[in-house]
Amino acid sequence: MRVLAQMAMVMNLDKCIGCHTCSVTCKQAWTNRGGVEYAWFNNVETRPGQGYPRTYEDQDRWRGGWTLTRRGRLKLRSGSRLRKLATLFFNPHLPALSDYYEPWTYDYQNLITAPAGDDLPTAKPTAPITWSANWDDSLAGGPELAQHDPILKAMSERIRLEFEQAFMFYLPRICEHCLNPSCVASCPSGAIYKRTEDGIVLVDSDTCRSWRSCVTGCPYKKVFLNHQTGKAEKCTFCFPRIELGMPTVCAQTCVGRLRYIGVVLYDPDRVLEAASVRDEHSLIDAQKQVLLDPHDPSVIEAALRSGIPQDWVVAAQRSPVYSLIFDYQLALPLHPEYRTLPMVWYIPPLSPVVDAVRDTGFDGEDAANLFAAVEALRIPIGYLASLFTAGDPAPVREVLRRLVAMRAFMRDINLGRDPDESIPASVGMTGSQMYDMYRLLAIAKAEDRYVIPHAHREDAGAPNDGCSVPTPVSLPFPKVRQS
């Protein structure tokens, strides 16, 4: 068994208020230069909505991620090596700048030069605005825009008609730093690589030749081209901060404290098998089998033998990411059907279920009533399943039941009553487990939400592509002379 370490993140969507603080601080730190005005390494999408870039989830159009051949072999949706070579100078599967948005500024001079009047002067945009990174924000366009949401379009007529009831939630997105990154396998120059020491996916600017195959290959469309330098850029998981044991900028500044960062251990030899599972509904379980139990003595021994430092093993044992995925079984990956094995996971949002039950005349805090209301939540389970479980509603339903059970269980404790052990038992947990889950989700301090060991630069190995298939770095592509 071979063991590698992976920095991972979990976001609790129940706590996201859509303030975009994470996006703004990331923008200030990483994309405040010329050529990437349109790029947002972190963005917050209102769901339902088309996302950023527009309809990025429509892989029939954009050809991102992996798919299986008839023989069950994994291949890039964007095509084989020969196809990439043939279309090297013509790639129609790229979002245009209008799919992101045309950056604009404001006429601030008008604030100074406007004549005196009864109304305060305004700074109007200097160009017409037709789209932006958060154009769907808070249902700004209503059904006119949301009907183009690829997930909503694929769902039943009943769900689409019920959209008039205005269900919505916020979805923050960064690069997934996948275990099987299709952007790495797509790059003809081998410029994108997955670091061996922490699994962060980065771009080597010296090697990048602006082919933009990585933009097509990424199904989440989180690789951007700097139009001034001609280099690909992407979320770096704030690796300079991570190496010092500090959380990412987006996590550090998050108002809702919804992000959790930690180390997980995984077996890279199982990645190909997990990504090649035929049944899309089995991909989550397959990915979980790639991740290793850091408390298992055999895993600890193999990790140390693989060169993982002792303090990283300890950090993996304390990882909130591992706890939310395995111990509490709350976190789910975004679009596992892309077969990239993403390592940014999400806790699905719970609609205002208490109010919904209370409106029917029943006790909105009673556990039995809450469990029954899970199926009638305003946010359809089917929509959440299309995001996080490749359309399988069962795992989403179980997560929501656990969140509902936690509310009912903690109500008794907060009111000074004896806790009802039957509530956690109904979702396969003990009372102490549920209380620990509550503490992590609700009142955990920074040192519990961010368990990030310092980097051991003296042990850093050579870059590892981390893909299940060889990357096409040997193709005879010409070198582009840099001016």
List phi, psi (to 5°) of 269: -75, -10
CA distances from 437 to 11, 328, 329, 448 (A): 14, 7, 10, 12
Pairing of strands 43-47, 169-173: antiparallel
Looking at the domain assignment, is residue 111 inside a domain? Answer: no
Mean pLDDT of 404-423: 90
Which helix (H) or strand (E) segment holds residue 350: the answer is none
Is pLDDT above 50 for 465? no
Distance of CA 290 to the CA centre of its chain: 18
Is pLDDT above 80 for 483? no
Mean pLDDT, all residues of the chain: 88
- Percentage of the chain surpassing pLDDT 70? 85
Range scoring the smallest mean pLDDT among 150-154, 208-212, 227-231:
150-154
Q: Per the structure block, which two tokens stand in for 182?
A: 């299709």
Long-range contacts of 469-475, Cβ-Cβ distance < 8 Å, separation of 24 or more: 469/74, 469/75, 469/185, 469/272, 471/184, 471/185, 471/187, 471/190, 472/81, 472/84, 472/185, 472/187, 472/188, 472/190, 473/187, 473/188, 473/189, 473/190, 475/81, 475/84, 475/85, 475/188
Is pLDDT above 80 for 198? yes
231 and 331: one domain? no
- Percentage of the chain surpassing pLDDT 90? 69
Structure confidence at residue 478 (pLDDT): 38
Contacts with 93 (C-beta within 8 Å, 6 or more apart), sequence order: 61, 62, 63, 78, 216
Looking at the domain assignment, is residue 81 inside a domain? Answer: yes
377 and 248: one domain? no
Higher pLDDT, 204 or 153: 204
Range scoring the smallest mean pLDDT among 30-34, 323-327, 451-455:
30-34
Range scoring the smallest mean pLDDT among 61-75, 174-188, 276-290, 371-385:
371-385
Peptide bond into 393 cis (omega under 30): no
Higher pLDDT, 98 or 159: 98
Looking at the domain assignment, is residue 408 inside a domain? Answer: yes
Looking at the domain assignment, is residue 44 inside a domain? Answer: yes
367 and 247: one domain? no
Instruction: Look up the CATH number of the domain holding residue 302.
Output: 3.30.70
174 and 314: one domain? no
161 and 32: one domain? yes
pLDDT tier, 480 (very low <50, low <70, confident <90, very high otherwise): very low
Task: Give me the domain span that covers residue 60.
Answer: 10-102+131-257+265-274+455-483
Structure confidence at residue 26 (pLDDT): 97
Q: Per the structure block, which two tokens stand in for 196?
A: 């061996």
Looking at the domain assignment, is residue 110 inside a domain? Answer: no
Is pLDDT above 80 for 146? no
Mean pLDDT of 35-61: 93
Mean pLDDT of 392-406: 93
Structure confidence at residue 195 (pLDDT): 95
Model pLDDT for residues 341-388, shown as the tens digit of each residue: 999 999 999 876 655 555 655 555 566 666 666 766 778 888 999 999
Mean pLDDT of 133-146: 72
Mean pLDDT of 387-394: 95
Indicate the residue type of 40: W
CA pair distance 182, 471, nearest whole angstrom: 9
Model pLDDT for residues 71-110, shown as the tens digit of each residue: 999 999 998 777 777 777 888 889 999 999 988 889 999 9
Q: Tally the domains of the chain.
A: 2
CB 140 within 8 A of CB 134: no
Is pLDDT above 90 for 157? no
Paired residues of 453 in beta bridges: none
245 and 320: one domain? no
Range scoring the smallest mean pLDDT among 52-66, 195-209, 457-471:
457-471
Query: How buried is 258 (Cβ within 10 angstroms: 0-12 exposed, 13-18 middle, 19+ buried)?
Result: buried
440 and 462: one domain? no
Q: For the chain, what is the radius of gyration of the CA atoms?
A: 23
CA distances from 377 to 293, 329, 385 (A): 34, 20, 13
Range scoring the smallest mean pLDDT among 53-57, 355-359, 400-404:
355-359
Looking at the domain assignment, is residue 284 inside a domain? Answer: yes
Looking at the domain assignment, is residue 150 inside a domain? Answer: yes
pLDDT tier, 408 (very low <50, low <70, confident <90, very high otherwise): confident
200 and 282: one domain? no
195 and 239: one domain? yes
Mean pLDDT of 53-64: 94
Paired residues of 223 in beta bridges: 234
Contacts with 440 (C-beta within 8 Å, 6 or more apart), sequence order: 260, 320, 323, 324, 328, 448, 449
269 and 287: one domain? no
293 and 253: one domain? no
241 and 158: one domain? yes
Is pLDDT above 80 for 233? yes
Range scoring the smallest mean pLDDT among 101-115, 268-282, 439-453:
101-115
Structure confidence at residue 164 (pLDDT): 54
Looking at the domain assignment, is residue 112 inside a domain? Answer: no
Match 């990645």 to its residue by tokens.
Answer: 271
Query: Model-level pTM?
Result: 0.90
Structure confidence at residue 49 (pLDDT): 87
Is pLDDT above 90 for 193? yes
